[in-house]
Amino acid sequence: MASVGARQYRCVMTTTGLEVRLHEGRERAEVTRFTKTLDEIVRSLREIDRVYLMRGTRATWVLADLRHDHDEMVVRLEARASTSARTAEDMLVPVMAFVAGAASLNEVAVIPRLFSPTTVERLASLAEAKQGVQSVSVAAYNGQVGPRVALSDSVREHAREAVRPFEISYGSISGVLDLVGTSHRQRGMRLSIYDPAGRQAVDGFVAERLAEELRLMWRHRVLAGGKIKRNRRGQVIRIEVDRIERLPDDDRGRPDTDQVLGMAPDWLNGQSVDQYLREVRGG
């Protein structure tokens, strides 16, 4: 599936939007399901865009076309920029990532590149047949529609599995603190920690006593410790933070390679590497 995603990312220069098809069943789709589907897709595109580029001009997603094709409602969404700070092609990376992520989840229960666990949960909800909509499919288009990906039962099951805790341990993660807000499920604050190197985002929860510290650390690099939940593939999906500290935003204060290399010159006790390995291996 990695090759599929790579091919789609290389096509970003010619992509102009996202086509969404809602397949109706015997009954017509309810208006609330139609509007919620589009709303959840746009939310997903925005979440992906934040992971792709934390700081930058955000696109406004507009309804470019709407038509009825037999038993399908066909909607086209396009990005509009409020300024010229980003190119149209750059703002459409979320379209490619969204389609590639759906294709990936059709095959395997892994959080796709540029997806947060919250985005994966949205995709699982979109793949559920209800309120007159039997299925949803998505495709990028540039005059011609690209490969269409159905949000199938397989996508739904893999998405749910990808965000299901499999292993819980105490540890820490580092990244840029983003999306601080109030949790409606439990007392405290919700947060998101973004890893710019791996282009991933981890959702989290923190007690109210740390709320003021969070506000001061927003958009800065942090080290957060607490109970970490991972999926079956070892990907971090949640963290319950009980301590957090700010890290330098640049490389100041971090040891360079000259400091690290040679820190323990006698750790082999005078042996050569080959001698040491023979001793460790018992022979």
**Cβ neighbours of 206 (radius 10 Å):** 23
CB 227 within 8 A of CB 202: no
Q: What is residue 27's predicted lDDT score, i.e. its pLDDT?
A: 82
Q: What is residue 41's predicted lDDT score, i.e. its pLDDT?
A: 97
pLDDT > 90 in the chain, percent: 47
Query: Domain segments of the chain: what residues?
Result: 2-162, 167-246
CATH number of 167-246: 2.40.50.140
Confidence category of residue 166, pLDDT binned at 50, 70, 90: very high
Helices (H), the chain: 2-10, 31-52, 88-91, 93-105, 117-126, 153-162, 211-217, 257-260, 273-280
Confidence category of residue 80, pLDDT binned at 50, 70, 90: confident
Residues 6 or more apart whose Cβ sits within 8 Å of residue 216:
246
Closest CA relative to residue 7, chosen from 99, 78, 138: 99
Residues 6 or more apart whose Cβ sits within 8 Å of residue 39:
none
C-alpha 165/C-alpha 233 separation (Å) is 10
Residues 6 or more apart whose Cβ sits within 8 Å of residue 10:
none
Q: What is residue 239's predicted lDDT score, i.e. its pLDDT?
A: 93
Closest CA relative to residue 116, chosen from 243, 19, 236: 236
CB 241 within 8 A of CB 205: yes
Report the predicted TM-score, pTM, of the whole model to 2 decimal places. Answer: 0.78
C-alpha 126/C-alpha 40 separation (Å) is 8
Q: What is residue 186's predicted lDDT score, i.e. its pLDDT?
A: 57
Confidence category of residue 9, pLDDT binned at 50, 70, 90: very low
Mean pLDDT highest for which of 56-65, 79-88, 265-274? 56-65
Per-residue model confidence as pLDDT tens digits over 115-149: 999 999 999 999 998 888 999 999 999 878 889 99
Sign of CA dihedral 265, 268, 269, 275: negative
C-alpha 238/C-alpha 231 separation (Å) is 9
Tell me the average pLDDT across 59-77: 90
β-sheet bridge partners, residue 181? 190
